[in-house]
Amino acid sequence: MKDKDIVVIISIVIVSSILSYVIASKVITTPANRQQHVPMIAQIVDQISQPSPTYFNAQSVDPTKLIYIGNNANPAPFNNQASQ
């Protein structure tokens, strides 16, 4: 390379970096858009309120209640050794 080529390359790098900085600061982000506002939410507390008595009451359906089908109340019907 000649000395002339190095000067041209350095000048192109300087001009392109200045131009890219100006374009980026003016076009991409304007000073008005540099601030971001976020909504505030309510603080989370460690207290639990009582549930609605419409759904949680003594007359509600209990899904954990044992359901018996038929007259056999044996909890392990297939563990009988005598039937083999």
pLDDT-based confidence at 4, cuts 50/70/90? confident
Q: How large is the average pLDDT for residues 68-83?
A: 69
pTM, 2 dp = 0.35
What's the confidence (pLDDT) of residue 81? Answer: 60
Q: How far apart are CA 67 and CA 31, in angstroms?
A: 68
Enter the tokens of residue 46: 């460690």
Q: Which alpha helices (DSSP H) does the chain contain, by range? A: 3-23
> d(Cα 21, Cα 37) in Å, to the nearest integer?
26
Decide: helix, strand or coil at residue 48: coil
* Distance, CA of 80 to CA of 59 (rounded, Å): 38
